Amino acid sequence: MKALVTGSSGFIGSHLTEGLIQRGYEVTCLIRKNSDLKWTHGLDVSFVTADYLNKHSLRNSVAEMDYVFHLAAVLHAVDWTDYHKANVLATKYLIQACVERNPGLKKFVFVSSISASGPVLDPSIRDETCTCRPSSFYGKSKLLAEKEVLGFKDQIPITIARPPNVIGTRQKEVYLLLKLLKRHLFPVLGKKDHQTSICFVKDLAQALILMAEKKQACSQTYYITDHQIHCWRELLKIAAQKMGVYPYVIKIPYPVLLSIAKSSEIIAKITGNDPLITTRYLCSTRNHYHLYSSQKIQQELGFKHQTEYSQGIQDIINWYKKHHLL
């Protein structure tokens, strides 16, 4: 089977690419001219360069593919126009290219975000029937992109994934937190109660492949979690214990973290790079709940997470140590 993966140079996309290869897929990675290929370097994949706003180049990219996994997105942009181009128009043009050049496509899998659902101020567990109320430009753009995909459901098979907070190697925020812990610095994130659902990235990759292969997933949207709810501080505590730095840590209070994030955003605007950490991320972990039910994907597709929570954190630490990054 032939699969095209957009966003393969990113955190989730690189893990999905590896998962597809392990399952025997012939994988092609759709990249931009300036894509950083460090996570796909050495993998048995093909590369095709395209412009997401150039329909002709997209048509050539999707031809003869059995599956298309669309993960490419912009998380941080200057204004709404940039979010709309990168996340809405790019998605629309890509799926249009599939319809026009590859109408026999077996499945178009769109990876959206919990940001499309929107923040919640109470600890209620949301499912796919809940009304979406995105509050950020990013969330609004992902919800609009979902609507674009659903608009083609009668022409080609589609399915939509909404991952929660995804944990794993190559994830920028996780790596930053581990580097702080190594220096015995403990960021005080969130509240003391259970505020978030998570999914380990390798489990998410397997869920995306399952969504592609299962006919029952056609025209459906799924939340994908490890079926539990978690506390941010507990996650950090477990990581610190496994790194041997707990309880000998210095806590970084929220106001200090917020100042660091603001400075990071200012530097990012000057340099043109992504901020190290954002005020939106910190405010979201402190003020909002991100709790989701994965009952639907369990019942309809038979999805089962494989990564045990504590061991998953240990595996992440081991990977960074193995690559001399911690």
The SS3 of residue 172 is helix
Instruction: Collect the ranges in the chain with pLDDT lower than 50.
Output: none
The SS3 of residue 171 is coil
Neighbouring residues of 94: CB distance < 8 A, sequence distance ≥ 6: 6, 52, 58, 62, 68, 70
pLDDT digits (tens, 9 = 90+) for 174-184: 999 999 999 99
Euclidean distance between CA atoms 294 and 228, whole angstroms: 9
Neighbouring residues of 56: CB distance < 8 A, sequence distance ≥ 6: none
Q: Provide the pLDDT for residue 256.
A: 94
Q: Provide the pLDDT for residue 76.
A: 86
Assess if CATH 3.40.50.720 describes domain 2-167+200-227+291-306.
yes
Domain residue ranges of the chain, discontinuous segments joined by +:
2-167+200-227+291-306
For the full predicted model, state whether its pTM sits above 0.85: yes
Return the amino acid letter for 233: R
pLDDT digits (tens, 9 = 90+) for 241-250: 999 999 999 9
